[in-house]
A and B are shown apart, each in its own frame.
Chain A
Amino acid sequence: MIFQTSFLPIDNLSRFMLFLIAFLFPLIFIYSLSYVKRNLFRYYFVLFIAFGGMVGTVLARDLLSFYIFLEIMTVGIYFLIIDNAKKESFPAGFKYILMMFGGGILILLSFLLLYNLTGTFEIAEIARVAGTLNKSALAPIFTLFAIGCLFEIGAVPFHIWLPDAHPVAPSPVSALLSGVAIKIGAYGIIRMIFTLGVLSPVLIFIGAVSMVFGVVLALKQTNVKRLLAYHSISQMGYVLLGIGVGTGLGIGGGLFHILNHAVFKALLFLCMGAVIYATGERELNKLGGLGKRMPVTLVTFGIAALAISGIPPLNGFASKAMIAQSVSGNVFLKLAIIITASGTVASFVKLFRFTFLGKLPDKLKNSKDVPVLMLFPLLFLAGICLVAGIFPDKVLGNLISPAVGSVLAFNFINVKILIDTVVIIIFGAVVYMLGLKTGYMKIEKGKSASSLPGRLSLDLIFCGAADMFTRGCVELRKLHARNLNVNLIWIFAALVIVLLIMYNPIK
């Protein structure tokens, strides 16, 4: 066998990730039972392949197996993304698979470089050898690896696949993608920090940029799932920020946020899945007034929205407070956190209002709450949001501290958090008002009021480069001779050139 992986977690960190996957996956599976109607065999086949890939990644004892299972997961998720087989599915899936393979090869290269340095793929062995090595030799390898993982996470500037992939994927798949798959990259970075003992300060920067960037773009989205996708970028920015700080508090906060984000973002996607299931619409301007028709979804969505906004006593606040505490010295980062938090509040007010409040469109008169199999995951996850929010120190003590490997204590009941919450709510209201006034947050589809983000889109840069490359290839094909005489001339030219190279007059 080229790779070996054990069926037991290697340490508490992988136990933590395994717990996360094992707890989310059954809920998504149950939800899928009613949600997915077509191509059942194909759907469940690739769903379990993706699941196996995720589990394998966090159980991997050596780096090669980590890579192997990562790619298995990637391929599985690709086929899940294109499962709906709509016109937009395929470009989104194509973007996803290419970005993932690109990141994957970077990860593989960093592993091979590590192998050249240490002579082994075993994580435990590498950790032992890395202690004796010069940190300056390890830093570039770590950077290469971290860049690869940023592709997987969907951090800015490698996020372009994420807002495309989520809206086209079936909702349970979006929940899986946002809840678990993008966390694997963060797990990889934490694992590597623990193994090599090096850290890159760039992570803090990328985290902060992703936070602000994600939330600013989320504000102007009109597609419900696209809006949530941009929030995934933003929330993973928090995680990266925590990891980048590198202290026990920071990494602990990051891990806590991984857990919290997995819970509330999966819940959000499943709620929106319920809305889409009931109405068939995913554009905000066609929705509205569903609160009376779908009370359960309304309540669970409300809980998740409060959780992601960081309002106590729901779970989001605990991890955000920890991350905020770990960067408290830095004014810019503090500012980024406040901007992000208030933007999050504003955009969820918008999402909530235009989905559940207001006037019910005539077309949606017959919509009603979804089947029990879909409601159960919603209620369960909402319950977790509440429990983890009310007893954050229990979660911290029993799950996070062992995973980080040091005892973390944090005072979750203090005045500062209360003040922060009030500030965020006020600022959120201000942003919401401003956004509606200026038209930045309007819900009509079409030309965006502010065209600057449209023009400066990174997506455009990546896709433009790819287009240019393809056009270059077309030109190349035109240059490519098909005439036999020309081909024969090429042969003799090649002979002459090879001869010249061999004689090499300079030598």
Chain B
Amino acid sequence: MGHAPILIVVIPLLAAFLTHLTKYVKLKRGAEIVAAIGMVVPLALLLSLGRGVIAGGSVQYNLGGWPPPVGISLTIDGLSFFFALMVLGIGLLIVLYSLGIYIFARRYYSLLLIALSGILGLVLTRDIFNMYVFFEVLAVASYVLVAYKHKPRAVKASFKYLIMTEAAWVLFLLAIAILYGLTGSLNMDSIALQIDKIYQANPQVIYLVFSLMMVSFGIKCGMFPLHTWIPEVHSQAPTPVSSLLSGLILKVGLYAMLRIFFLFFGTTLLLQSAGQLVLYLGVITLVLGACLALVQDELKKLLAYSSISQIGFVLVGIGLGTELGLKGGLFHIFNHALIKAALFFCAGIIISQIGFWRISRMKGIWRQMPGVTFSFCILSLAIIGVPPFNGFVSKLFILQATLAQKNYLVIVFLFMGILLTAAYYFRVIQTFFSPEEFQHKPDFVPQPVGPFEHLSTYVVAVLCLLVGLFPDVVIKFIQPAIKVLLP
């Protein structure tokens, strides 16, 4: 069991290659079974470490036995544990949704596993260059996933995604290079020890490093004005990939921001001004995303803009930097991952039945698809922040944290953001309940929707209610993460 941290990263990677070998085995659904095992085993390993991590400890693993700062080390502490758990949970949900759809074959599961292993790796590693490598592993897998169906528009979107993310990683690599030059180390902890001294001697270079990282992570998490790739990529990608993008890949940028900023700049004065920057960019992001979602007619694009807006809420929580703010931010990361993944599932089911992408074509679908409509309603209420669902709890924490700082300007915008969220989701809901009948797209054959697709949305809808009623269960996992960030 001593090797658990590295196994958590490697098993999905191994499974990714095994899925291709299932071609030679006479086994129905071989790829799906391998993919599920490739996620359940790391999940079990992770949970076996859970007790110690939640108590406030951490598990360190040195690759090849080389201790840091020489070797690469993987560490599972509160923050990594929270994110890794989320990654595996949402990953399983995505597999559940994909089970019934025949076009998602071996190649898809293999790429999905590679992407998840990339996220797990970058969440666990304490070596900053290693983090960059895992970012690229994730990125390469997800470019292919976005263009999985070979549609021209999807390929174009995938290209945009490629260019924008690579721009982010180039900036990140530059920042790493500067830090390496200054400190001679790639281990995060040892960089963090030296950064204070460098800041005293030469603050400009730290500003440069900070700005590079800020823009880099901003692109990844969809911060204004770097969010431009999100709507196109999310709407063109196949449904489960949209869920993966919105649920997990956007969160990667937030994770990097939390991990690196709090570790590197936590002791310097920089965190204060950086926090203000993140806070106000978050406010702009949340209002802008909501405004654009309000006038969107494509369902998946609306969900994508909604993701931008919700990330804005998270950024506000992170930017406040207080314990309550971080609690709200991390909770909202979790809630958004869960809810938005399932909302994309609902959108996918609806679109696969009627063939149109536009909301105005989805009139009166509740008569034909009551189940999907019901879960869509529950999920959108949850993300608006209507009690007793989970979104309410996280937004409550963020509001409370903002009020505690007496930042009334931000309160006004949060208020506006919540109201706009309600407006654009209820615009969709009322279309679903419209008395008119929807028309199929001409010469469109509705694809059969199996029980798995529906089940995945119901599971999340129930989870939303349960988490909203018993938020303490999730807060128990968030608390150690906050302890890591604010020691």
Give the contact stretch, choosing among A224-232, A309-317, A339-347, A494-502. A494-502
Whether, in the assembled complex, B22 has its beta carbon less than 8 Å from a beta carbon of chain A, the answer is: no
B residues touching A (Cβ–Cβ < 8 Å)?
159-160, 163-164, 167, 171, 204, 207-208, 210-212, 214-215, 218-219, 225-226, 228-229, 232, 273, 277, 288, 291-292, 294-296, 381, 384, 386-388, 392-393, 396, 399-400, 403-404, 411, 415, 418-419, 422-423, 426-427, 430, 433-435, 468-472
Nearest first, the 10 closest Cβ-Cβ pairs linking A and B are A68-B387, A502-B207, A487-B228, A85-B435, A90-B430, A498-B211, A473-B291, A473-B295, A499-B211, A495-B215
Whether, in the assembled complex, A398 has its beta carbon less than 8 Å from a beta carbon of chain B, the answer is: no
| A116 and B228 form a contact (CB under 8 A) | no
Whether, in the assembled complex, A112 has its beta carbon less than 8 Å from a beta carbon of chain B, the answer is: yes
A residues touching B (Cβ–Cβ < 8 Å)?
1-3, 67-68, 71-72, 75, 78, 82, 85-87, 90, 93-94, 97-98, 101-102, 105, 108-109, 112-113, 115-116, 470, 472-474, 476-477, 480-482, 484, 487-488, 490-491, 493-495, 498-499, 501-504
| B469 and A2 form a contact (CB under 8 A) | yes
Residues of A within 8 A of B288 (CB): 476
With contacts A71-B386, A481-B228 taken as known, whether A109 is within 8 angstroms of B415 at the C-beta atoms is: yes
Residues of A within 8 A of B470 (CB): 1
A sample of 15 inter-chain contacts (CB < 8 A) reads A71-B387, A86-B435, A90-B433, A94-B427, A98-B423, A112-B400, A112-B403, A476-B292, A488-B164, A491-B164, A494-B226, A498-B214, A498-B215, A502-B207, A502-B211
Secondary structure call for the A interface:
helix
| B294 and A482 form a contact (CB under 8 A) | no
Residues of A within 8 A of B214 (CB): 498
| B218 and A494 form a contact (CB under 8 A) | yes
Residues of A within 8 A of B211 (CB): 495, 498-499, 502
| B171 and A105 form a contact (CB under 8 A) | no
Residues of A within 8 A of B291 (CB): 472-473, 476
Looking at the assembled complex, report how far the CB atom of B356 sits from the nearest CB atom of chain A, in whole angstroms.
19
With contacts A108-B399, A116-B403, A491-B226 taken as known, whether A484 is within 8 angstroms of B419 at the C-beta atoms is: no
Residue from B388, B415, B472 in contact with A72 in the complex, judged by beta carbons closer than 8 Å? B388
CA distance A298 to B418 in the complex (A): 47
Residues of A within 8 A of B399 (CB): 108-109, 112
| A477 and B295 form a contact (CB under 8 A) | yes
| B435 and A98 form a contact (CB under 8 A) | no
Looking at the assembled complex, report how far the CB atom of A64 sits from the nearest CB atom of chain B, in whole angstroms.
8
| A1 and B163 form a contact (CB under 8 A) | no
CA distance A36 to B415 in the complex (A): 37
| B430 and A484 form a contact (CB under 8 A) | no
CA distance A71 to B210 in the complex (A): 42
Residues of B within 8 A of A67 (CB): 387
What would 5 more interface pairs be, CB under 8 Å, given A112-B399, A498-B277?
A1-B472, A67-B387, A90-B434, A108-B396, A498-B214
| A2 and B164 form a contact (CB under 8 A) | no
CA distance A209 to B159 in the complex (A): 61
With CB as the reference atom, state the residue of chain A lying closest to B171: A495
Residues of B within 8 A of A105 (CB): 415, 418-419
